[in-house]
Amino acid sequence: MTLSRKLLPLPAMAVLISAWQISVMRSDSTILPGPWAVVLGIMELAQKGLLLKYVVASLYRVTWGYVLAALIGIPFGLLLGWYKRGEKAFNPIIQILRPISPLAWIPIAILWFGVGDGAAIYLIFLASFLPLTVTAMNAVRNIPEVNLNAGRNFGLSERQLITQILYPAVAPYLIVGLRITLGIAWLVVVAAEMIAVNSGLGFLIIDARNAGNRYDLVIAGMVLIGIIGIVLDAGMKNLEKMKSIRWGYGGN
Amino acid sequence: MAQTATTAPERAVEAAKISVRGVSKIFKRDGKEVNVLDNINLEARKGEFVCILGPSGCGKSTLLNIAGGFLKATTGSITIDGEEVNGPDPRRIFVFQERGVFPWMTVEGNIGFGLFKLPKEERRHRIAHYVKLVGLEGFEQAYPQELSGGMKQRVEVARALAVNPDVLYLDEPFGALDSITRLIMRSELLRMWEAERKTILFVTHDIEESVQLADRVVVMSTRPATIRRIVEIDIPHPRDISSPRYLELRDSIFEEIGLAHKV
Ligand SMILES: Nc1ncnc2c1ncn2[C@@H]1O[C@H](COP(=O)(O)OP(=O)(O)O)[C@@H](O)[C@H]1O
Ligand SMILES: [Mg+2]
């Protein structure tokens, strides 16, 4: 991509923000704070020390829930994919659990962990675990039989087959799954924080409304969630550029 | 074929390299039995190039997979140097269509894949040799998706040859290539075979291809496959594919299969 094409979104954004500011000013709106009010809101949060505190609190929960889910869900999924019997045994349970929104677990999460980090982390874990398990399972199932047979033909042991064929073959799919799942985890943390804890960006939004209808802070919270979400996604996207993985994404 | 200067009596007692004895295969699927191979008997001498020719779906791949140790025969057995096949073995390498190359490895990585037991220096040496043999110099660091179908196929052949197997199994290796590349790959394969003299079992459904390549063509029937005839192709390489003998052998196979070659 050329630089000028990379910069293309900037004018569009400038137009949108100007239109937002102008229409709020013209209409003297009380139902929507303008962008400038939102900027002031973010600065206020920074001054009070809440900005960093809430961002860190949200990232902390996402990190724990997501990393735990990855550490358990991916190996579990790989095992299910590798041992067909495992898949046969567990797949029905997985399929039943999958359509249940992680948010439906909120009451149970609070019952088990109380209001606090534990409940939020548990919810993020739940939201990330199944997608990662299913991704890993399908990735193994989709390894071409010819690749495995070639490995066996060259005299690889079962262990070498796993390290030299299974891992590299599933890596691109796992990276994509990790990226999508991090997006889900970030969606869920906001919802979880609205109910199950009293800090974090989700809490900020609900608290700003409850304690004084501070809609500038509500939107400030939304903007922060958006920006951090983009940064997380861009970080994961960078992983896809690794040479040994790029083959999995079609084209070059 | 007689590349080694053995004396006549020695050759006479020399056992077959590959011998297929009474191999049948019945697949069971959804409670139904599919009879695929019916009592196949076949021998290949050391260094011989044997083509297995038959219509699609007759069981050629199944036979080759049994010889490769990837499938078990229902009855009968295959021995190589008198030793029964019962599992894959690096001494006999199966070349899939170009799909078999590892997309996560470079050309070099692929060709050196089977050499993990060798010391680094020797490994490098061998890789370089086979890169050259298949004409992929300059592409050592390329990934398969940057290569054409023919080049990928060369990578697979080089990967197989690099471990110095005594037997190569090729299952319609050029089937997915365009017809010009296919012709080039055939003569490349012959060149490599003449350089290394592996025993080759080559599966194809292409009559011309079999007559161009093989020392002997094993003509199979439709499923359940039996051997209809084995045709000796007594034309030295390089073969003139418009010579009367070539046409005669080709036409006899066309007739054997029951095809008039008029379009
Ligand atoms: N694992 C299997 N289970 C059941 N049937 C099979 C299996 N593998 C192959 N077959 C059947 O055996 C027949 C021969 O297949 P194959 O050996 O691949 O034929 P060819 O290579 O000659 O085209 C086909 O009808 C195919 O459907
Ligand atoms: Mg086949």
Count structural domains, chain B.
2
The interface predicted TM-score of the complex, written ipTM, equals 0.86
Residue B145 lies in a domain: yes
| pLDDT at residue number A252 | 40
With a CB cutoff of 8 Å and minimum separation 6, the contacts of B51 are B202, B203, B204, B209, B210, B213, B214, B216, B217, B218
Distance from the alpha carbon of residue B204 to the mean position of ligand 1, in angstroms:
15
DSSP A250: S
Residue B2 lies in a domain: no
Contact yes or no for B100 and A247 at CB 8 A: no
- Render pLDDT for B129-172 as a digit per residue (tens, 0 to 9): 999 888 899 999 999 999 998 899 889 989 998 999 999 999 99
Is B171 in the same domain as B53? yes
Smallest CA separation from ligand 1 atom 8, residue: B62
- Render pLDDT for A14-34 as a digit per residue (tens, 0 to 9): 999 999 888 888 887 777 888
DSSP string, B34-101: EEEEEEEEEEE-TT-EEEEE--TTSSHHHHHHHHHTSS--SEEEEEETTEE--S-BTTEEEE-SGGGS
Smallest CA separation from ligand 1 atom 25, residue: B57
For range B222-245, the mean pLDDT: 91
Is B159 in the same domain as B173? no
Collect contacts of B234-243 with beta carbons under 8 A, ≥24 apart. B237/B190, B237/B194, B238/B187, B238/B190, B239/B212, B241/B208, B241/B212
Domain boundary among B149, B164, B179: B164
| pLDDT at residue number A115 | 87
Which residue of B87, B99, B114 is in closest CB contact with A146?
B99
| Statement: residue B1 has pLDDT above 60 | no
Are the CB atoms for B207 and B253 separated by under 8 Å? yes
| Statement: residue B263 has pLDDT above 70 | no
Containing domain of residue B106, as a range? 98-164
- What percent of chain A shows pLDDT beyond 90? 68
| pLDDT at residue number B261 | 58
CATH number at residue B60: 3.40.50.300
> Mutate which of A153, A156, A164, A166 to disrupt the B interface (most B C-beta within 10 Å)?
A153
- Render pLDDT for B174-225 as a digit per residue (tens, 0 to 9): 888 888 888 888 988 998 899 888 999 999 999 999 999 999 999 998 888 8
Distance from the alpha carbon of residue A148 to the mean position of ligand 1, in angstroms:
19
pTM attached to this predicted model: 0.83
Domain extents for chain A?
35-246
The rounded mean pLDDT for chain A is 90
Distance from the alpha carbon of residue A50 to the mean position of ligand 2, in angstroms:
66
DSSP A155: T
Give whole-number Cα distances, B44 to A187, A201, A206, B17, B63, in Å: 64, 74, 79, 6, 14
Is B119 in the same domain as B233? no
Q: To 5 degrees, how large is the angle CA B182–CA B187–CA B190?
A: 125
Between A60-69, A143-152, B6-15, the lowest mean confidence (pLDDT) is in B6-15
With a CB cutoff of 8 Å and minimum separation 6, the contacts of A120 are A61, A65, A109, A189, A192, A193, A196, A197, A200
Is B84 in the same domain as B182? yes
| pLDDT at residue number B242 | 92
Q: How far apart are the CA of A165 and the nearest CA of chain B, in angstroms?
A: 8
| Statement: residue A251 has pLDDT above 50 | no
For range B97-125, the mean pLDDT: 91
Residue B160 lies in a domain: yes
Are the CB atoms for B33 and B27 separated by under 8 Å? yes
Q: Within a 10 A sphere around the Cβ of B90, how many other Cβ atoms?
A: 16
Within 13 Å, how many C-alpha atoms sit on residue B144's CB side?
23
What is the pLDDT confidence band of residue B260, given thresholds at 50, 70 and 90?
low
Residue B132 lies in a domain: yes
The rounded mean pLDDT for chain B is 89
Q: Which tops the pLDDT comparison, A74 or A87?
A: A74
What is the pLDDT confidence band of residue B122, given thresholds at 50, 70 and 90?
very high
Q: How far apart are the CA of B43 and the nearest CA of chain A, in angstroms?
A: 22
Determine whether B9 is exposed, middle or buried from the number of CB atoms within 10 Å of its CB (0-12, 13-18, 19+): exposed
What is the pLDDT confidence band of residue B10, given thresholds at 50, 70 and 90?
very low
What topology is assigned to A35-246 in CATH? MetI-like fold (1.10.3720)
| pLDDT at residue number B14 | 60
Are the CB atoms for B26 and B36 separated by under 8 Å? yes
Instruction: Name the residue in chain A with its Cα closest to that of B95.
Output: A150
Which residue of A152, A165, A243 is in closest CB contact with B88?
A152
Are the CB atoms for A192 and A124 separated by under 8 Å? yes
Which residue of B90, B116, B146 is in closest CB contact with A252?
B146
Interface of B with A in 66-95 (CB under 8 A): 68, 70, 87-90, 93-94
For range A163-189, the mean pLDDT: 94
Is B106 in the same domain as B204? no
Is the previous residue joined to A11 through a cis bond, with omega within 30 degrees of 0?
no
Per the document, the length of chain B is 263
Is B41 in the same domain as B148? no
| pLDDT at residue number B98 | 66
Measured between CB atoms, does B165 come within 8 Å of chain A? Answer: no
Are the CB atoms for A150 and B94 separated by under 8 Å? yes
- What percent of chain B shows pLDDT beyond 90? 67
With a CB cutoff of 8 Å and minimum separation 6, the contacts of B83 are none
B107's tokens:
């050309």
Instruction: Name the residue in chain B with its Cα closest to that of A160.
Output: B116
Q: How far apart are the CA of A167 and the nearest CA of chain B, in angstroms?
A: 10
| pLDDT at residue number B99 | 80
Is B143 in the same domain as B263? no
DSSP A200: S
Is B217 in the same domain as B249? yes
Q: How far apart are the CA of B105 and the nearest CA of chain A, in angstroms?
A: 7
Q: Please give all residues whose beta carbon lies within 6 A of any atom in ligand 1, as ranges.
A: B 27, 29, 34, 36, 54, 56-62, 223
Domain boundary among B106, B140, B164: B164
